[in-house]
Structure 1
Amino acid sequence: MHLGAYTACLHDRPLDESLKILGELGLTSAEINTGGFIGTPHIPIDDLLASAGAREDYLGRYAQAGITLTGLNCNGNPLNPDPLVGPRHADDLRRSIELAAALGVKRVVTMSGLPGGHPGATLANWIVNPWDSQFLNALDYQWQEVAVPFWRDIQARAADADVKVCIEMHPQNLVFNPPTLLRLIEQTNATHVGAEMDPSHLFWQGIDPVAAIDHLGDRVFHAAAKDTRINEENCRLVGVLDDRFTHTPADQNPLGLGGNNTLNQWPEQPAWQFVAVGRGHGDEFWVPFLQALHRVDPGMAVNIEHEDTELDQIEGLRLAAENLIAAGRKAGL
């Protein structure tokens, strides 16, 4: 099993420095961003697609650092009805599959995407409690008219490239839990589309990630190490569907997410929040989590995704790495 990190949190540092940091933390795996919500600070995609020599040199930098490139990540919304976002994110995914095949990297991480609720819609529409028939009608449109045709094409491209596309089950997407993942797999007859098992988004939905792994089995292709802390006192009042986000002021340079969209600010006292590995759940979770992944695939990559706003980029990575490596030892891996 490979324990590593997704390097988006080191976007302001050169690739070689980022790989050096991972190695010093005892990690052996890296996942690199290739589009979607985030840019491509650590990978020159056009050069690599154009030149076998460039690919050899690029992979050589990983070998020299003692790091394996285990995944490309292009998380975004490829089904977004916004013409400034959806088509670009979809193209990023298609190109990432092509690049993965050229580099010999077998995993591409992404999200399923979220369409609008009807033809001609301009805003994505996440429907999670369709008690009214109009919402089921909208879901039928989203799945049958938009998602299934798109993902049938992605499945075909991934199979031709011998690359596994790993969907992060992420709220604000059609696929956000094991049943919706299985629905996508079944409706597209997918063999090369499966799960990126990120427990952080499952925790706050009340889903047991270990049970999810056992349920999905070999449909789990890849994994993230990101923790979630449920703030019980706040959660008792607002529940997990906490909508008290606010716009990030323009003078604070909000992170662009494509088109005119930016990342919002979290509530001051959130019901839950992302934290470094070990700050939400201890070994009682991380040890069986790694063991469950190992049962599915002993060679699986588990890459830290650092989004703990209470810790800086290096401090958060270091703590997550220490706790993840310790859990791996206790798991006997």
Structure 2
Amino acid sequence: MKLAICTDVFADLSYTEMLDKVKSLGIDAVEMTAGGWGARKHCNTEELLSDGNKLKAFQEELIKRGMRISALNTSCNPLWPSTTGDEYKKSMYACVDLAERLGVKKIVAMAGLPAGSETDTTPNWITSTISWPDFMAPAYNYQWQVTIAFWNEFAAYAKKRGIEQIAIEEFPGTMVWSVETMLKLREATDPIIGINLDPSHMMILGADPIAAARALKGCIYHVHGKDARIERGLADINGILEPRPVTESADRVWNYVAVGCGKDLQWWKEFFSVLSMMGYDGDVSLEMEDLTMSVEAGVLTSIDALEQTISK
């Protein structure tokens, strides 16, 4: 495994400044947003697709530093029945087009979340039993029909353009948020679809990412190096569901934290060891979203922890 980094954490830097910063940290691979709701500060997809000279210059900056693109990220909700959802969908297809031009074989995405019916416009994440009330089961079934139809179409488009892996991040609030939902989508669509295993999202729902890695053998296409912490005392009172904004970290029952500030290093060593046993030898892309400390402190803390635990 090799360490990469999601570059939105350096959104205040220009493309070349970001590359120099990442290189100074001892990292040679970058995951950049090229679609969806990410910053897209370092990868202007529309510009690179329309101007061959800018595309060439973009690639040359990577080459002269001995760096590479780990994946292009296009995480968003393309299933939202709205103008915004349509724009997300369009940006995802453009991301695939750019990946083809760049020779990038892997994109990272999220499954999306439809509305509850053909006449609804508000995405609904159904987390309670669908046995009651009576309207939940039809809504849940409808959502899966919409989700599967979109991903069959998108997977076919991506395959025609040389994409080998679509790594879907299991994210709370989308149709794929667990091992079971990941496998459901994969089995209903195409093996080009696998998981971007982000352990932090499993942690905050009470799942064990190490056990999940075993269950996902053969379809782990990407891994995010990201930690989370269930906040003692607060979660004991209110449980683990948390609607507060991530900026209100002091009052939340869980928070994304720098690697090693949620799970200890022994846990992370076991996690990467099991990933290796399950056949994963790809990139571990640091996604730093800790708002309890400065960006610099969070990045350095996470790199230190990952360098000590990753299975190289």
Q: Which structure 1 segments of 5+ residues have no match? A: 247-263
CA distance in 2, matches of 1:297, 1:61: 32
Residue in 1 aligned with 2:78? 78
The DSSP-based 3-state class of the residue aligned with 1:318 is helix
Shift, 1:177, TM fit: 0.4
Alignment of 1:102-121 (within 5 A): 102-121=101-120
Letter in 2 for 1:91: K
Equivalent runs, 1:1-333 vs 2, <5 Å:
1-81=1-81, 83-129=82-128, 130-132=130-132, 133-144=134-145, 146-163=146-163, 164-188=165-189, 190-243=190-243, 245=244, 265-266=247-248, 268-297=250-279, 299-328=281-310, 331=311, 333=312
Deviations along 1:238-275, one digit per CA (max 9) or x if unpaired, are 000123x26xxxxxxxxxxxxxxxxx743642111000
Q: CA deviation at 1:62?
A: 1.6
Q: Percentage identity across aligned positions?
A: 29
**Matched residues in 1 for 2:71 and 2:84: separation?**
23
1:203 alignment partner AA: M
| In 2, Cα distance between equivalents of 1:220 and 1:298 | 7
How many angstroms apart in 1 are the aligned matches of 2:182 and 2:241? 21
In structure 2, give the amino acid aligned to 1:113: G
Distance 1:118 1:267, change over 3 A: farther
* Distance in 1 (alpha carbons) for counterparts of 2:296 and 2:63: 22
| SS of aligned partner of 1:85 | helix
Q: Mean Cα displacement is larger for which, 28-37 or 295-304? A: 295-304
CA contact 1:278–1:323 (8 Å) conserved in 2: yes
- 1 CA distance for matches of 2:220 and 2:80? 25
How big is the alpha-carbon RMSD for the aligned residues of Structure 1 and Structure 2? 1.7
Q: Counterparts of 2:19 and 2:268 in 1: how far apart (Å)?
A: 24
- Comparing 21-30 with 167-176, which one deviates more in the overlay? 21-30
The normalised TM-score by structure 1 is 0.88
Mean alpha-carbon deviation: is it higher for 105-114 or for 312-321? 312-321
The number of aligned residues is 309
- Greater Cα shift, 159-168 or 58-67: 58-67
Q: Which amino acid aligns with 2:170?
A: M
Residues 165 and 193 of structure 1 are in contact (CA less than 8 Å); yes or no, is this contact kept in structure 2?
Answer: yes
Q: Is the 8 A contact 1:28 1:68 kept in 2?
A: yes
Cα offsets for 1:72-129 (capped at 9, x unmatched): 1111111012x23211111111111121121111111111000111112121100011
* SS of match in other structure, 2:151: helix
Which segments of 5 or more consecutive residues in structure 2 lack a partner in the other structure?
Answer: none
Q: Secondary structure at the match of 2:240?
A: coil
Query: Is the contact made by 2:4 and 2:284 (CA closer than 8 Å) also made in structure 1?
Result: yes
Decide whether the 8 Å contact of 2:125 with 2:174 is kept in 1. yes
CA distance in 2 between partners of 1:166 and 1:312 (Å): 29
- Rounded Cα–Cα distance in structure 2 between residues aligned with 1:293 and 1:102: 31
Residue 19 of structure 1, CA deviation: 1.5
